[in-house]
A and B are shown apart, each in its own frame.
Chain A
Amino acid sequence: EPEVTQTPSHQVTQMGQEVILRCVPISNHLYFYWYRQILGQKVEFLVSFYNNEISEKSEIFDDQFSVERPDGSNFTLKIRSTKLEDSAMYFCASRGPTGDSYNEQFFGPGTRLTVL
């Protein structure tokens, strides 16, 4: 069964550094999402991406964040200048083609970001 993959599994960085988190969505999916989960808390939406542009973003997704689909397979989240409070598990998710039968958002295994 196809799965969403993410790299790296764990990223440690210094405050103020830039990080890029990478995701490979399921190949025929069209909708892509980033969520984050601070340890012990709920999963929070960051941004959704469709047709090569952002379709929705939360208040968490400020100017320090950006997303890109640089080629036909990768979907990246960049944090320009990391803060301590950016430490969290970041999940990528993807969703299938249009049509009512493709509702499910499939989650990747996550990247644990630790900002020191």
Chain B
Amino acid sequence: GENVEQHPSTLSVQEGDSAVIKCTYSDSASNYFPWYKQELGKRPQLIIDIRSNVGEKKDQRIAVTLNKTAKHFSLHITETQPEDSAVYFCAASKDTGRRALTFGSGTRLQVQP
């Protein structure tokens, strides 16, 4: 089955700096890659996603890049703010999200004011 590895496990940045979180996946059939943000005690919420026919997608301060050949994808957050502090999970699935999501182990991002 699919295996998703995520690094780093913790990341501390100064407010205004950029943050990058990286994930690799094992199943070349995976074609949908969402990123979820989970604040303490709350539900995971989708912040951005990308499909395998696209190399990059941007939404304001958040961007995701995908390298299908290398089977890795990354989340980039620019101009970080204290409210960006949370745990971020990458995930992968097949059939453009219809199938189960396989999650990475999560990255705890701390933005220092």
Contacts and interface: CB of A to CB of B under 8 A. Distances in A.
Interface in B54-113: 89, 91, 96-106
A41 B105 CA distance: 7
A100 interface: yes
A31 B44 contact: no
A42 B105 contact: yes
B106 A105 contact: no
Question: Size range of the interface on A?
Answer: 20 to 34
A107 B43 contact: yes
A95 B98 CA distance: 8
B93 to A, nearest CB: 8
B29 interface: no
Contacts of B97: 95, 102-105
Contacts of B96: 100, 103
B25 interface: no
Contact of A43 (B32, B44, B46, B51): B44
A100 B45 CA distance: 19
A51 to B, nearest CB: 12
Contact of B98 (A31, A107, A109): A31
Interface string A64-103: 0000000000000000000000000001000100101011
A45 B43 contact: no
A114 to B, nearest CB: 15
Given A100-B51, A103-B97, 12 more contacts: A4-B43, A31-B98, A42-B106, A43-B44, A91-B43, A95-B98, A100-B96, A102-B97, A103-B96, A104-B97, A107-B45, A109-B42
What are the 6 A-B residue pairs with the smallest beta carbon separation, nearest first? A103-B97, A45-B100, A107-B43, A43-B103, A42-B105, A42-B103
